[in-house]
Every structure is written in C-alpha cells, then in structure tokens.
Amino acid sequence: MSMNILICGVGGQGTVLAAKVVSQAALSRKEKVLSAETIGMAQRGGSVVSHVRIGSGVYSPLISCGQADVIIAFEATEAVRNIRFLKKNGTVIVNSKIVAPVTASLGAKIFETSAMVEYLKSTGANVICVDTDEACKKLGSSKPVNMILLGAACSAGIFCAHEIKDAVKVLVKPAFHEINLRAIDYGNLTLV
C-alpha cells in the first residue's frame, strides 16, 4: 500500500517542516519514504510544494498529476493551483485563510476563500476547510498553523496523531514541543 501526500503553501508557513514530520512519522513505522520540495522565487511569500510518497512501491519522489491521495494546503489559492495533482475522490485539507501574493496586490485582484473552496468542491474532492486563524487565537500563537493542519489530517484518518506527535518531538526543538503538540491536538479533536 502506498500514500501520496502533497503539502503546499507559501514560504514561511511551515510547509517544509510539515513534510518532514509526515516523513519521520512514516519512517518510524519502517515505511519507505521519498520526498522532494519545490520552492518558489521568494523565500518568504513564494509558492512552496512538498511531495511525500510513502510505501514499498514508490520509486520517485515526485507525485504525478492525478495521483495524490491527499493535499494539505496551508493557503486556499495554493490548493486551487495544485488541485491537478489530486486523484479522483481524494481529500483536500485546506486552511481557510488566503495569503494573496504580492503580484495580486499590484493588479488589485481579489482572492476570496469561499470561491476557492467552492471550486475545490466542484472537482469532486473531499474538502475539509480549517479556520487556522481561530485556532491560533485559541492556542495563543500564530506559529503552529502547520501542526493544526496535520492535526486535522489525523482527525480525517490520514495520519495517526501519536506518530505525528512523536515525529515533532524528534524534529522540533524542545522549547517548541508544547505549542506544537497542543496544535496537533486542537486540529485532531476540534476541527473535523
């Protein structure tokens, strides 16, 4: 059995760390994991896409169009931009927050979450929309958006919460364990 996970967002949102956490969780189960990142022109604010492929039948780190089992999108516009990777009846876990690119402000283009989510639903995807702004307020920090979304993926049955938490303990500095573990719990128990 294999699983293809595409994690997308913009620079500075923690997409690369989320991909590493997912990979570490799979490695702890002795699964074969291949992953790759594509990072846009700007370190902060540019498009970031991580491909994580898990399973014995995986031979390339990149997910082909129409082959992702799940897309975890840290930003709704990035979910729309990458929907071509999702397989039929796949799952999209998407942050309801829009981070409009700098180029959009130059052209006065308006990006609306509701329009993005409706488009995602129109593709036949199973869409789980997460209000990370509200979650961050309740958690008292704007930092753990990535872990809130991974927690929501746990709630949807995509990952096992204790494996994701154990991976965080391996990869994240101890000073940040508590907020990240609470964010995973919040996403896992509250959102979906």
Distance CA 41, CA 167 (A): 29
Lowest pLDDT segment from 38-52, 95-109, 123-137, 167-181: 95-109
Q: What is the mean pLDDT of the chain?
A: 89
Q: What is the pLDDT of residues 92-150, one digit of tens each?
A: 999 987 765 555 555 555 567 788 889 999 999 999 999 999 999 999 998 999 999 99
Whose tokens are 């283009």? That residue is: 109
Note the pLDDT of residue 11: 80
Q: Is the pTM of this model over 0.75?
A: yes
Burial of 168 (0-12, 13-18, 19+ CB in 10 A): buried
Distance CA 60, CA 111 (A): 34
